[in-house]
């Protein structure tokens, strides 16, 4: 940021991990939809727990996923969830842009779509407008059967309000890869909640990420050497 402030052109490796993050978000969503946390707990206890002895998981097809942020991560998730038969609502800065097969609402109207949302997927950057976007008030608008998937930044969610909603049956479950404080404190109740999948900010990592980042840097270096336009320039 200091370089940028002093007039130095700075580029990023934005997009290098988009597919990985989208895969992680999808995995978390499907795991919650198919009650995998409960099945894993039953396995650890050597307990046979078929679905017909508990609450049956609802069909995903026909449910509504609201995706906040329509960058590479949101777009990949939107395509995959559409293939699974979910209805997609996209939340962007402006509702002026059209997204094929999805309904688009402006960020200012975020609260209006929460009552119909089954899966709230957060894939947005952290900005003053998205900080504490999923507030206590926002959570009260959601269905008790709804879930939150956060692969953006911890500060997008009021974590204490989320924990309270999960504990008191006002929200069904959550997959969280990011947290208000990282590492997640040992005393956080999120570690032990049966309706939560928590991963340590690992959604965007694999053995190929460094290679992709290096390739993007080298490509930009070639552009710079030839006097061509750079991509992923920090504005």
Could you list the active site residues? 153, 182, 201
DSSP H stretches of helix in the chain: 2-5, 18-33, 36-44, 72-83, 110-113, 136-140, 159-167, 209-225
Please say whether the beta carbons of 130 and 156 come within 8 A. yes
Burial of 186 (0-12, 13-18, 19+ CB in 10 A): exposed
Using only C-alpha atoms, the chain has a radius of gyration, in whole angstroms, of: 19
Answer yes or no: are the C-beta atoms of 124 and 110 closer than 8 Å.
no
Q: Give the N- to C-terminal CA distance of the chain in Å, as an integer.
A: 11
User: How far is it, in rounded angstroms, from Cα 155 to Cα 132?
Assistant: 6
Query: How far apart, in whole angstroms, are the C-alpha atoms of residue 162 and residue 148?
Result: 9
């Amino acid at each position: 940021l200091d370089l940028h402030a002093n007039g130095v052109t700075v580029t990023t490796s934005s997009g290098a991990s988009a597919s990985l993050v989208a895969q992680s978000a999808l995995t978390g969503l499907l795991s919650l939809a198919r009650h995998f946390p409960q099945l894993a707990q039953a396995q650890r206890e050597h307990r046979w727990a078929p679905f017909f002895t508990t609450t049956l998981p609802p069909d995903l097809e026909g449910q509504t996923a609201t995706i906040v942020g329509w960058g590479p991560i949101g777009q990949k998730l939107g395509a995959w969830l559409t293939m699974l038969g979910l209805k997609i609502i996209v939340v962007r800065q402006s509702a002026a842009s059209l997204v094929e097969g999805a309904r688009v609402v402006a960020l200012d109207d975020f609260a209006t779509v929460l009552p119909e949302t089954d899966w709230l997927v957060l894939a947005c950057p952290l900005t003053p407008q998205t900080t504490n976007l999923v507030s206590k008030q926002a959570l009260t608008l959601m269905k008790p059967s709804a879930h939150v998937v956060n692969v953006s930044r911890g500060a997008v969610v009021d974590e204490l309000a989320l924990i309270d909603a999960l504990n008191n049956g006002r929200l069904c479950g959550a997959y969280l890869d990011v947290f208000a404080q990282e590492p997640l404190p040992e005393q956080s109740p999120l570690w032990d909640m049966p309706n939560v999948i928590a991963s340590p900010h690992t959604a965007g990592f694999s053995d190929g990420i460094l290679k992709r980042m290096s390739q993007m840097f080298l490509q930009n270096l070639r552009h710079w050497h030839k006097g061509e336009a750079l991509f992923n320039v920090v504005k």
